Amino acid sequence: MGVITGTGSYAPARIMTNDEFAAYLETSDAWIRERTGIRERRIAAPEEATSDLAVSAGLKALESAGLEAVSLDGILLATATPDLLFPSTACLVQARLGADKAFAFDLNAVCSGFVYAMSVAKSMIESRAARRLLVIGSEVMSRALDWSDRGTCILFGDGAGAVVVEASEAASKGLETFRLRADGRYWDMIHVPGGGSRRSGEESSPFIRMKGGETFKMAVRSLQESVMEVLSSSGVSPSEIDLLVPHQANIRIIDALATRLGLPPEKVMVNIDRYGNTSAASVPVALDEAVRSGRISEGSRVLLTAFGAGVTWGSGLLTWEAETQKRSRS
């Protein structure tokens, strides 16, 4: 059984408030908060890249687990904003951490990336391909923004979150049921036209393009279906969930999902007001904050869910047994 034994997160120092947008765009703090739930977000410094954020979050997760990087079997990095086209950002992180024995690779499912990566980690642990993994979601979304496009630039921020996943014979539960989905027919719902190998047809823009209304409707519907599939497969009812940790894309999406599941506010982790949408970093940052604030403890049933470009979506159910794993290692 795979269990989470440590969590960590990192946010750049620079805080950008809604009022800064109001100074040059036709918008206001009230308009942004009402439609998105965001009041501020973090922006990486010019010298900061995705790997820098990932290393900081990864070190905190390793410290939380009481481990050295050299003990890792692998590093899975979910990101849509890599440092370079290649090599993988995970390899850069591996070198910086000194994880000399670890394999490393990137995984790109955009905002769903961390949930996808956790599903892969679960499979690798259960198949005995690895016993100790560092799973990271890290993004510098600010580098992919057209700062004159009100429909996208107000939504995103930068950050990183990480967890250590280990095999445990002592744990009866841990990473339980994960379900992943994708529908590439809607690839242009959220996309960046430029930066890849395609050079004909659409403009080669390096900035995010998004169909906001269509994305909202599909996200709510897909997340509900995904969550219910996971719960049904696990024999768990929504009322048995202790905390929902959703992708922080829009407060209206989160509220709509919580309402459909019948979950009260105290069972929903929300930090979008302080970070905006940090894509693959969103779920692990929220998860780390929930752990460190005491909203998740031994035995808590936690539900992860995310929707992103691709389009991709997925959910995962876990029971918190980190302390069990730490005891079994000591």
Q: One of 18, 111, 153, 250 is an active-site residue; which one?
A: 111
247 annotated active-site: yes
In total, the chain counts a number of residues equal to 330
Q: Which of 89, 85, 84 is nearest to 52 (CA)?
A: 89
**Bridge-based pairing state of the strands 74-78 and 40-43:** unpaired
Residue by residue, what is the 3-state secondary structure of 200-231? CCCCCCCCCEECHHHHHHHHHHHHHHHHHHHH
Question: Which residue, among 166, 191, 158, has the nearest Cα to 285 in the 3D structure?
Answer: 158
Q: Render the burial of 137-160: b for 16+ CB within 10 Å, e for the rest.
A: bbbbbbebbeeeeeebbbbbbbbb
Q: What angle do CA 230, 235, 240 make, to 5 degrees?
A: 85
Sign of CA dihedral 325, 62, 296, 121: negative
Is 277 among the residues known to form the active site? yes
Sequence-ordered alpha helix ranges (H) in 154-281: 212-234, 251-261, 272-275
| Per-position b or e across 256-284, b if 16+ CB within 10 A of its CB | bbbeebebeeebbbbbbebbbbbbbbbbb
Known active-site residue 111: yes
Which of 153, 247, 250, 271 is an active site residue? 247
CA distance 173 to 31: 44
Is 239 buried (19+), middle (13-18) or exposed (0-12) by CB count in 10 A?
exposed
Amino acid at 244: L
Q: Which of 20, 60, 15, 28 is nearest to 273 (CA)?
A: 15
Query: Is the distance from CB of 72 to CB of 166 less than 8 angstroms?
Result: no
**Nearest C-alpha neighbor of 154 from the set 11, 290, 38:** 38
Just list the catalytic residues.
Answer: 111, 247, 277
